[in-house]
A and B are shown apart, each in its own frame.
Chain A
Amino acid sequence: MAYSEKVLDHYENPRNVGSFGKDDEGIATGMVGAPACGDVMKLQLKVGKDGVIEDAKFKTYGCGSAIASSSLVTEWVKGKTIDQALEIKNTQIAEELALPPVKIHCSILAEDAIKAAVADYKKKHGA
């Protein structure tokens, strides 16, 4: 499969790989996908008191496109409020990475990971 330059760049040099302590102050975790489907993404956001995302980390089990989609998302969410982060759409991710049609599901999963992490934040903060 031929990957775009941007996918290869994120795959070779993934940004913000790692984990925060799950129960640390201001940490929200979203885990989406399933091993049997070939993709699992874990996205963690570090949210300040003002509701702005200060930092983000990810881990992904999946193909090159899934790794690139989640790596890209960690870059995009930083500095955004949680509500602004929810505005990131899979179509923007797919466009930025020039994903082929068979890999669109990777961008959808990355969008779902943001939604799941924000939902976790809201649950913890009773918002």
Chain B
Amino acid sequence: MEETKPQLVKITFDGIEVEVEPGTTIMQAARKIAEADESQAALVPPAMCFYKPLTASGGKCRACLVRVAQGSAKDPRPMPKLVPSCITQVQEGMVVENTTNQAVLDTRKSIVEFLLINHPLDCPICDQAGECHLQDFAFEHGSVKTRYEEDRRTFDKIDIGPYVQLHMTRCILCYRCVYTADQITNKRVHGVMNRGDASEISTYIEKAIDNDFSGNVIDVCPVGALTDKTFRFKNRVWFTKPEDAHRDCDKCCGKTTVWYRGDEIIRVTARKNTWGEVNDFICNTCRFEKKKTSDWVLEGPTKVKRSSVISANKYRANLVKTPDFAIKLADSSYKKIDDTRPFVTDEETIRHQSIENNDKANHRSLLAKNN
């Protein structure tokens, strides 16, 4: 018997046509474009609270707001407000403007500003730095200066369980950890207390989170609010080397990424996809207790995006072991700086230049490796 396929829905996203299944969200459609053509990755709206594996997540951070210029083929009126692309479903003939619309970009800039006004900006001492979604988001869409002059809100650090520490000051209240605790573990003991900018993630009267999958809240946290106590202050992520690995585990799938420093595993996390999402959650035994290479079957280096800072220092071992390499690298890098662009003070241009420079730096490090 032939299976009836659902009629595909065609939408236009930033001028690119894409066909998706009905019921897909705008965000998923944009990700489909980027998955088909990697050069279009910049089109995808940023997601700070949306997390595909967690149902009901999304719609809270407003970072992914887009403009719908045409609601559908049947009803071509534009939507009156910007809509969150992570939860808005596509309609046949919908026309969406993301990076092509200045209002959307302005709003996104203000969302960065809102998220950062009460953020401590302690990236230099934060364990999440280098793999922080807020850092990426602010780098890409934020402004160089802050207009906020008042005191920032602060909270005390709370130990939730033997493995996880909550540093509420850094939290952006995406609710991902609440959904994780709700959906993949049985006894939910943590949630959101208070309201407004005083609201905080907290456990029931500072009760410890004690179950086999509690460690996953660390992986879903987009910022450094929930950190791994076995890894805290051990290392910067860009000095570590991620390797895919697996082991036989009776509780979870056992598929992980282990993070090496030298020959030592200093951290174990679940595997994240291109969008920073974990599809297979792992148990606490794999995450916190198996830190010997003999515990794992290695599958090879994890694919890290070239733009990620994690890839920038992959060759640190080489730099230390063979000083010649370091000199050659420096030589090749610094001579090739070719910046004939005029001197500008305009904030936007500087930001674009700094992004370009970052790309060039990555490119240079690759060149150096090939030489």
A complexed with B = no
